[in-house]
Structure 1
């Protein structure tokens, strides 16, 4: 793989050391068997914790460049490994950024790979429009009583704890939401069903029925849940672009090997000008995506209070470009590209969801346009 991007000024020596160490670990441990997805995810979380990689997923602070490098590397080796790592960070992002000392004790377990976390925001009637959240949390004495449903929850059914968002009613719309830390064994939490998707991951539909949480479960302030959610997504959205970048790099590497060894009309495919044109376009998209992803990560690490525009650009471009790069790689493989078990076939299924979760592509376009029009 081309590793020259690590010499870019976005990175410090510690990032280059991190990338080299994780590359060696991933080469020795990935991919894993995906036959039992739940067991694979549990095993991956434990292995990532034992390897020390989950210490980057939360704690006193988040280094976004490190998160991006880890997600890019893991995605290039095994999409499920990237998923397992990402959810430990996203799932506990609210606790890392807003949690009380008591809540932050959970970080010791998630960083060690001893507990699996989840981020429960999406509902049957609200995905990108968080202001339409219908799950409610009502005060009752010293407790909060939650009722509602969540869907497409990553790690749903295998998580040990969830960060869950509910309407507490301090104001209409997005200003009346709050975030809570919910242990999975809390009475009233039901896994209604598992959701099967084209690239198998543990996803579930959850129901909360008269579920009681103590006051200490509130993350941040009552009514501050929208800020919590958006701050977490602001930190982690560039990492979605990084995962897409990892998929794209793998697709480019697979395509390069294919066209160098495959004979067509008496010569390697790589000697055909049309093939060279496709390779050039793929390489261009990979580098452009990397520049946007690591610009956003660098800006956040330098102390930018918000990187909403940069994160949206990184997530939008990297995921859309990766889809195109992977599609072109599959085309260069011909019939072999759609065979189950081929790397490009797996990448083709893995990439599609990244253009939807943590803000669909059209939502990112709206974010960018409003930023540009508003002069932010």
Structure 2
């Protein structure tokens, strides 16, 4: 597709997004409504596969992934989340897996038959991914395998996934340098899990590893390089988390404009009240700013994924977009009044959905830390150049 030009999408991109919004509302949302809260919706996944959207996750650049997620989120958040979780769980296999691993697992993921999951977080290591405690104890000497022991928590699609991208401590070095990535099928002996009852409607669970056997053929990438596998995935998906948030914000904003344009109160239309009109204007301005920052971050990734500026741009996009969506949805609920809190209302649904993205894939505080660290790194490098 045509690249983002800085301030506007191309006509072909706008047309594609419109088709996606229609598809989400007309085909995917009815399937989502038939699903069970907190469970993997396999008919919805199959529909995403049939429409070729799961394939797009693996063949698109970062900007097209953002447009895809934003458009689906506008019409059906459950479809967006199901698609994103497939990408998050399987992208490490695409990028770092062996040919055998890719041939075994990715066709099913693309078709919506095989459910993937990204197992990074732990009870004591959520945002601090370098503090992982899940141990991979070597056995059988050089070239042998490992036994995984410990826990993972807050894992989307657990415990119903068919395989997990698991990050464990193999001990080649301290902190992040001693983490390896493994592809672990769900039927491995010693692996068990339970669902967690969460605010968000998509499936989230905990996993227990009791000496789960893994071998060299289960490695994703090289031993001790698993943290890089995780970061490569998160750098791609963080801007598109922002796109998910922008899609929700735009849906809430459009609903608010439509509501306040006709709702009468205090002898007139709500939208004629300056306090209401100014609040809606603020909602629209923040949403547009977040949208542009998300697109710019994705475009920078597509231009040069290895650029040292990519992590900072991705962090800025996720931070601003998720915080903005929280603001917009909250104010949309306020302007709708009690009706927005009724179960089944669009804004009641968005109010439950919008909170989690400020935490997962790096909480807002983590994004601020990444941004500040990169700014000071650049300042230090410039100072050193000036002193040379």
TM-score range for the pair, normalised by the shorter chain length: over 0.9
Cα deviation, 1:282-312, whole Å, max 9, x if unaligned, reads: 0001100001100011111112314100000
**What is the number of residues matched between the two proteins?**
369
| CA shift in 2, pair 1:10/1:373, >3 Å | farther
Q: Which residue of 2 aligns with 1:126?
A: 125
Q: Is residue 242 of structure 1 aligned with residue 243 of structure 2?
A: yes
Query: Is contact 1:33-1:40 (8 Å) kept?
Result: no
Describe how 1:164-179 pairs up with structure 2 within 5 A. 164-179=166-181
Q: Hey, what's the Cα distance between the residues in 1 that align with 2:94 and 2:7?
A: 27
Residues 1:308 and 2:311 aligned together: yes
Q: 2:229 maps to which residue? A: 228
Cα distance between partner residues in 2 of 1:255 and 1:323: 14
> What residue is the counterpart of 1:3 in the other structure?
none
Q: For residue 291 of structure 2, what is the aligned residue in structure 1? A: 290
Distance (Å, rounded) in 2 between the aligned partners of 1:125 and 1:265: 52
- The 1-side partners of 2:41 and 2:247 are apart by 19
Q: What secondary structure does 1:37 align onto? A: coil
Structure 1 segment 60-79 matched on structure 2, within 5 A: 61-79=59-77
Out of 334, 341, 357, the position equivalent to 1:354 is 357
SS in 2 for 1:30: helix
Structure 1 unmatched runs, 5+ = 1-5
**Greater displacement, 323-332 / 197-206:** 197-206
- Match of 1:185, SS? coil
Instruction: Provide TM-score, normalisation by structure 1.
Output: 0.94
Alignment equivalent of 1:88, drawn from 80, 86, 89: 86
**Secondary structure of residue in 2 paired with 1:287:** helix
Aligned-residue RMSD, C-alpha: 1.8
Residues 97-122 of structure 1: per-residue CA shift (max 9 Å, x gap): 21111111111110111101000000
For the residue of structure 1 that corresponds to 2:41, the secondary structure is helix
Contact 1:71/1:239 (8 A) holds in 2? yes
Report the alpha carbon displacement of residue 238 of structure 1 after superposing the two structures with TM: 0.5
Q: Normalising to structure 2: TM-score of the pair?
A: 0.91
Q: Distance in 2 between matches of 1:39 and 1:125?
A: 25
> Which residue pairs with 2:52 in the alignment?
52
Note if 1:163 corresponds to 2:162: no
Distance, in Å, in 1 between the alignment partners of 2:60 and 2:181 is: 20
- The DSSP-based 3-state class of the residue aligned with 1:150 is strand
Q: Aligned equivalents of 1:92 and 1:225: distance in 2? A: 14
Bigger mean CA deviation after superposition, 93-102 or 30-39: 30-39
How far apart are 1:38 and its partner, in Å? 5.5
Once the two structures are overlaid, the 10-residue window that deviates more, 365-374 or 161-170, is 365-374
Q: CA deviation at 1:336?
A: 1.2
Do the aligned residues in 1 keep the contact of 2:28 with 2:47 (CA within 8 Å)?
no
Is the contact made by 1:270 and 1:276 (CA closer than 8 Å) also made in structure 2? yes
Cα 1:143–1:120 change in 2 (3 A) is: same
